[in-house]
Structure 1
């Protein structure tokens, strides 16, 4: 008898089963990676907006406000020299005549709950002098139970991870 070349049906089924298992595991890992990247991006956006506000306050020798505005699950962040900035009113959050509002989170991949917004009146402020800041914090989460906090104390601004060290940040 001559042995035929190729795979038997059983070998093909085993190969397909192994490939399916590997794909299922990698898809879950990929979704977690994407969710963690979105969380890191939104957290960095908050951090750098607060850093910019601090720098602008010193540069302008005026108080600069950062406003966190919520509309349903969406959060926006605006920066202005006025304490009454509303992210949804055109030209209400301006610096140098330029509207300064950014979309922060959509409530799908990254979320902020009102309970995790610890800035009084959803607002941070920076004065021209050192240590003239309005302290507070905000914690952002994703659907995979990842969380990062941006904390503004009287002395410094920092990013940390509540509960345990994660995503390259120390435990809060």
Structure 2
């Protein structure tokens, strides 16, 4: 009685496995893209929390700058009194930053270019929102409130990536 598999049985098994993997490929790609957006959402939310904490820790007003030069973008946390106009200036003077180079294919936008965090209350001087997405139909919105200092992350037009609808 022979033991093992014949070459024909191995070829058939590999062919069936290949077909199953090809069918799972597109959904796996979508899963990876969704995870990269969720990871970025957590990172940007953490960055805003860090900005609030750092302002209190240093007992100084800190500026958060958002610069978008249509090719790339950056969000940087800079000491009070600093003013930046370019991404290179933001990198050179920042305490911390997040840039599009580390997050390819994520588009970001905001109606403001700067926020100032108060060192006593850990609140920004303005209530503003930042929008980001990889898929234009699944935009996420990060809002900061100037009175409470609350940071809220939600899906703009629906529940996306595990975040509730705004």
TM surpasses 0.5: yes
Paired residues in the alignment total 156
Give, in angstroms, the shift of residue 108 of structure 1: 4.5
- Any stretches of 5+ residues in structure 1 without a counterpart? none
CA distance in 2, matches of 1:36, 1:46: 15
CA pair 107-72 structure 1, distance change in 2 beyond 3 A: farther
Q: Are the counterparts in 2 of residues 126 and 134 from structure 1 also a CA contact under 8 Å?
A: no
Q: Are the counterparts in 2 of residues 117 and 138 from structure 1 also a CA contact under 8 Å?
A: yes
Q: Deviations over 1:60-115 (max 9, x none)?
A: 222111112223332222111134134312764234xxxx3332456743222xxx
- Three-state SS of the structure 1 residue aligned to 2:40 is helix
The answer to whether residue 150 in structure 2 is matched with residue 152 in structure 1 is: no
CA distance in 2, matches of 1:106, 1:70: 15
CA distance in 2, matches of 1:140, 1:105: 15
Q: Are the counterparts in 1 of residues 40 and 103 from structure 2 also a CA contact under 8 Å?
A: no
Q: Once superposed, what is the RMSD of the aligned Cα atoms?
A: 3.1
- Three-state SS of the structure 2 residue aligned to 1:31 is helix
- Three-state SS of the structure 2 residue aligned to 1:125 is strand
Give, in angstroms, the shift of residue 29 of structure 1: 0.9
Give the structure 2 partner of residue 84 of structure 1.
83
Question: Which one scores higher on RCO, CA 8 angstroms, separation ≥ 6?
Answer: 1
Q: Deviations over 1:108-148 (max 9, x none)?
A: 43222xxx413x2x222211132453221111111474322
Give the structure 2 partner of residue 117 of structure 1.
110
